[in-house]
Amino acid sequence: MTGKTSKKPTKVAKKAAPKRAAAKAAKPRKTAAKPALLSGGNPQIAKGYGDAPVQAYIAAMPGWKSDVGRRLDALIARAVPGVRKAVKWNSPFYGVEDHVWFLSFHVFAKYIKVAFFRGTSLRPVPPGASKQKDVRYLDIHEGELDEAQFADWVKQASRLPGERM
């Protein structure tokens, strides 16, 4: 291979340094961004235990659903003093023991779905059927919350064995 000359030019132009780093540094930082809304308007809230993540979830619920969420939370807290709260799988959960739950709710586009994990044992039985043997649902549309019936179901559900999740 001796005697062969390289076909590369002797002077190679320097490549310009990428300007991506400077562009990233110029972006202003976002502070406490609002939670994203998933399909149907359900807030995306990180898993957490206690009242704070539940209140963050309720505050992020869109439109009339936020008012209903506050009402549900207040009714549950009044019916079950010392209720345990958590947000798991982007839904608030309520129980009487740590990690043992009797109720949850979830936001959909046109209603809020309340799940009673031992709903078949409640009287009267909540109207929504489930594929799961013991679960019953209550779909709450705007202006349709029967607070007295809901509070009665919450009291009954809190006395039943909870669901460990």
Q: Which residues contact residue 108 at a Cβ distance below 8 angstroms, ignoring those fewer than 6 apart?
A: 40, 41, 42
Could you read off the pLDDT of 17-74 as tens digits, one per residue?
Answer: 555 554 455 554 444 567 777 777 788 888 999 999 999 999 999 999 999 999 999 9
pLDDT given at position 19: 55
User: Does 110 score more than 60 pLDDT?
Assistant: yes
Q: In what order do the strands lie in the sheet with 48-49?
A: 48-49, 84-88, 91-95, 103-107, 112-116, 136-140
pLDDT given at position 1: 56
Residue 138 phi/psi, 5° resolution?
A: -125, 115
What is the Cα–Cα distance from 78 to 63, expressed in whole angstroms?
Answer: 24
All domains of the chain, ordered by start, with CATH?
37-164 (3.90.1150)
Percent of the chain with pLDDT over 70: 80
Type of residue numbered 151: A
What is the average pLDDT value for the chain, to the nearest integer? Answer: 87
Q: Is the pTM of this model over 0.85?
A: no
